[in-house]
Amino acid sequence: MNVFHIVGARPNFMKVAPVMRALKTRQHVVQTLVHTGQHYDANMSDVFFEQLDIPAPDVNLAVGSGTHAWQTAEIMTRFEPVLLERKPDLVLVYGDVNSTVATALVCAKLGVRVGHVEAGLRSFDRTMPEEINRLMTDQLADLLFTPSEDGDINLQREGIPAEKIFRVGNVMIDSLRKLLPAARDHNQNGLPERYALVTLHRPANVDDSSTLKRILQSLLEVSQDLAVVFPAHPRTRKRIADFGLHAEQLRLLDPLPYVEFLGMQSRATVVITDSGGIQEESTYLGIPCLTLRENTERPITVSMGTNVLVGRDPGKLRLELSRVLAGQAKKGSIPPLWDGHAGERIAAVVAE
Ligand code: UD1
């Protein structure tokens, strides 16, 4: 049985690693790793392969950056001949990035079966490019692997038959659990005892100059009470420079490798973010998370975990931060099946 895995952007790497590892033990499964090249900087891609022990890609489509239409189309055009030549039995796609929907669409048109890892998540906000990617990919997939019950409910509401849905748990947490000991051992020279760890890269937060300016202003206010450590996505860095904004009081860093970031996250006083994966990781770690978004496709991190949606309201951020600093942060628990074995459960379904 020939199984393809598609990765392209940073959050995919943490998701593919445990599934590939689990499938390695199945003798009859031959795995092929395809990297679309959506992310290409060493610190957005290569370093994750090393730390997560992912084999080098068998195929690299090297698409690079562009508009949504251009990038999606380019991935499709470059992926189609690979699929026609190698004829896999199943293609596993991960998460909600452009690489995910582009390759799922090519497979569906050529009659190749698709499995979607991290299916069923919905923010119900179609201004988010990822929401479009999630909706489309789930309609095209033959096997839908969900991380939590809300995923199953969303899929069934959209008419996906129950027999296609497999609640397997959260693959990101598989990677987290594997590397947490190394992350905790990692020496964090020069970091203060208490700090807010910030990440920011959603187009809705960083692509508009007045919105980004307001968020940076709120973070500067935070930094009066608590050091702010801010590993910045290349997109965000570029916008700060393009808009001529200032963020000198924030400790702006380059994007960090997985182990270093996880270590920093596990010791943070609070995490302030607009990332999806970080909402989940902080819930697992029990670290308070203030999310700079009006909605989340991961509602379980709010209902069960440590996540609070503060939107773009500086007052709400201030209020929630003061709760954290007063030792009154929300306490959470770890959702079911976020146990480090999601990859094995996916492998069991795939191998059948
Ligand atoms: C993508 C995903 C997003 C995910 C994020 C994680 C989509 C629609 N978005 O957003 O869901 O949360 O990855 O990082 O797929 N760039 C570099 N170097 C790189 C990659 C990107 O400098 O290696 C810069 C380029 O200027 C590029 C911009 O970042 O235009 C945006 O990259 P892109 O892949 O289009 O989207 P992300 O914002 O990274």
Is the C-beta atom of 98 inside 6 A of ligand 1? Answer: yes
Closest CA to 91 of 131, 141, 51: 141
Cα(201) to ligand 1 centroid in Å equals 8
Please give the distance of CA 67 from its chain centroid, rounded to a whole number: 20
Please state the pTM of the whole predicted model. 0.96
Substitution site in 35, 128, 235, 261 for ligand 1 pocket (most atoms within 8 Å of beta carbon): 235
Find out whether 343 and 19 touch, Cβ atoms under 8 Å: yes
Is the C-beta atom of 211 inside 6 A of ligand 1? Answer: no
Is the C-beta atom of 333 inside 6 A of ligand 1? Answer: no
Q: Which region holds residue 23: left if phi is over 0, alpha if psi is between -120 and 50, else beta?
A: alpha
Is residue 341 annotated as part of the catalytic site, yes or no?
A: no
Q: Which of 116, 186, 201, 233 is labelled catalytic? A: 201
Is the C-beta atom of 348 inside 6 A of ligand 1? Answer: no
Cα(10) to ligand 1 centroid in Å equals 8
Q: How many Å apart are CA 3 and CA 194, to the nearest integer?
A: 45
Burial environment of residue 149 by CB neighbours within 10 A (0 to 12, 13 to 18, 19 or more): middle
Q: pLDDT tens track of the chain, all 352 residues?
A: 999 999 999 999 999 999 999 999 999 999 999 999 999 999 999 999 999 999 999 999 999 999 999 999 999 999 999 999 999 999 999 999 999 999 999 999 999 999 999 999 999 999 999 999 999 999 999 999 999 999 999 999 999 999 999 999 999 999 999 999 999 998 877 889 999 999 999 999 999 999 999 999 999 999 999 999 999 999 999 999 999 998 888 999 999 999 999 999 999 999 999 999 999 999 999 999 999 999 999 999 999 999 999 998 889 999 999 999 999 999 999 999 999 999 999 999 999 8
